[in-house]
Amino acid sequence: MAFKIEQCSVLQKHRLSYKPVLPKVLQKGPAGVVAVYGKATKSVADQAAVKKMFPNTYGMPQISFKAGTNKNITKKAVRVAVVLSGGQAPGGHNVIAGILDGLKKANSKNKLFGFIGGPSGILENKFIEITPKLMADYRNTGGFDMIQSGRTKIETAQQLATAKENILKNKIDALVIIGGDDSNTNAGIIAEYFKQQKIDTSVIGVPKTIDGDLKNEHIETSFGFDTATKIYSEMVGNICRDVNSARKYWHFIRLMGRSASHIALEVAFKTHPNIVLIGEEVLAKKMTLAQIVDNLAKVVVARAKDEKNFGVVLVPEGLIEFIPEMKALIAALNDLLAQNEKQINACKSFEEKKKFIISKLPANLAKLMASLPSNIAAQLMLERDPHGNVQVSLIETEKLLVEMLKTKLAELKKQGKYNGKFSAIMHFFGYEGRCGVPSAFDANYTYALGYNASVLALNKCSGYLSSVKNLVKKPQDWQCGGIPLTMMMNMERRNGKEKPVIKKALVELKGQPFKVLCAHREVWAKTESYVFPGPIQYYGPAEITDITTYTLRFEHLKK
């Protein structure tokens, strides 16, 4: 008898039938929701510059939703389009499901379309209709595979004109952009352009990024962060169990998180490693690479004295950008690479390219660049991403730290201050967490964000980000509304030019989560306080399946 290979896992079959819980204010559908407009807003910084760039969408009021009667939105059928932008995050399909269900609840003739392959799908006019039948195969699943994603930015005059042409050609009444800070900045640019062109198409953003750095008072967390940190924590917990069993290796684990250390901090809460580096702390204390290595060495030496030549270290992916000397070097390299593209591309070898770049750097940065291991120097010179950022996921910071730590420990051994054994194993956990099946929290949160976005679209609220908050409560008690995209913006230097961007939310050193870490890190360094959280739980006691992140819980302690 031959065994049949299932096309769908047992877990996936169960997740497809899961019914997300909507906040009470949305449960009667878009026609049962009215918008309440608050006071005018302003950007988080650089108000004059941001206002000048967004004259038609700057200063719009915050919106909150409450129960009421709003039958006007049911009278005319509308056509809404959705696009996934940037890196993947667990729960993207549920955002789309929420949009679809909200639209169909308001009017069964409403239609939802998905642009294929990210924003480039808008420019290439590639799309499909997302029907209830198609959506049925993707509810509560991970990945972005239904319509895929991409990192194209729509910002040039030609791109904006093409987007306008295709939106009008397809009679799109609203465009929902699901993305992170850069993608939603782009959503703000498109919304402003459409207003300026007097196009009656609303543009709404949805906060997505596993990095956790798209957050504020009204966006308490970005979707995918909960699931991704649970996935990483399972793997880190497994390593903690292994290191406590073998007791002979130091594991250096770099965790995804391009510009902030939220993932490393949350995984630390879940697993209790011996050391967790926080980039924001490194920047605040103006620590050099040598000082970071000295601090690592102190813990390694102290544990060796107790015959513990093993441990676990968590390294945030973006650490290298927080080290002041490296931050200055990267900023200089960003400008150099943008301004000397032809000359650099003409270089025939890495050494020739490095020599050219060093010749253009200030003396102190040239010295630092020359001192770096060749592999790290090469990684720093790699092509920037479409937003002008260094591709930190390709920089092996953990290897740099290990190599420098080996040199430091050798020096200490010669001085008779260290007699332990140091063997290191290095890991990078990144893509493993981006497309996982969403946790119960993310399944509910993303569905609510999408449904909420449909209400914003039906109310023609353009230039807004879907906001669902009060997230430490049960889903039915979450609060819904929208906040202006310009409200979150400031000016930053990108590709050698000042540009408006949504300000990244970094780990707050005065915040409750970091204070909790500080209260525990000394004990974690000395002992084996490891926690093994295991895989994401979908079924079982609510205290396991419905638990939110430590970060959210600690942040709400002050409220």
Residues with a known catalytic role: 211
Could you give the count of Cα atoms lying within 13 Å of 479 in the half-sphere of its Cβ? 13
Concatenated DSSP letters of 63-109: EEEEE---GGGGTS--EEEEEEESS--TTHHHHHHHHHHHHHHH-TT
Choose among 509, 463, 481, 530: nearest CA to 53: 463
Task: Check if the beta carbon of residue 461 is closer than 8 Å to that of residue 33.
Answer: no
Rounded to whole angstroms, the Cα distance separating 21 from 259 reads 32
DSSP tally for the chain: helices H, then strands E: 22, 16
DSSP 475-508: GGG-EEEEEEGGGGEEEEEETTEEEEEEPP-PPP
> Rg for the chain (alpha carbons), in Å?
25
Rounded distance between C-alpha atoms, residue 222 and residue 37, angstroms: 23
Q: If DSSP codes are grouped into helix, strand and coil, which group holds residue 291?
A: helix
Tokens encoding 66: 């409450």
Q: What is the dihedral of CA 236, 241, 242, 246, to 10 degrees?
A: 140
Q: How many angstroms separate the CA atoms of 316 and 186, rounded? A: 26
Longest dimension (CA), the chain: 82
Q: Please state, as a whole number, how many other Cβ atoms lie within 10 Å of the Cβ of residue 198.
A: 7
Distance CA 37, CA 34 (A): 10
Buried-exposed string 174-186: b where 16+ CB fall within 10 A, e elsewhere: bbbbbbbbbbbbb
Q: CA-to-CA distance for 500 and 187, rounded, in angstroms? A: 12
- Spatial contact of 294 and 248, defined as CB atoms under 8 Å apart: no
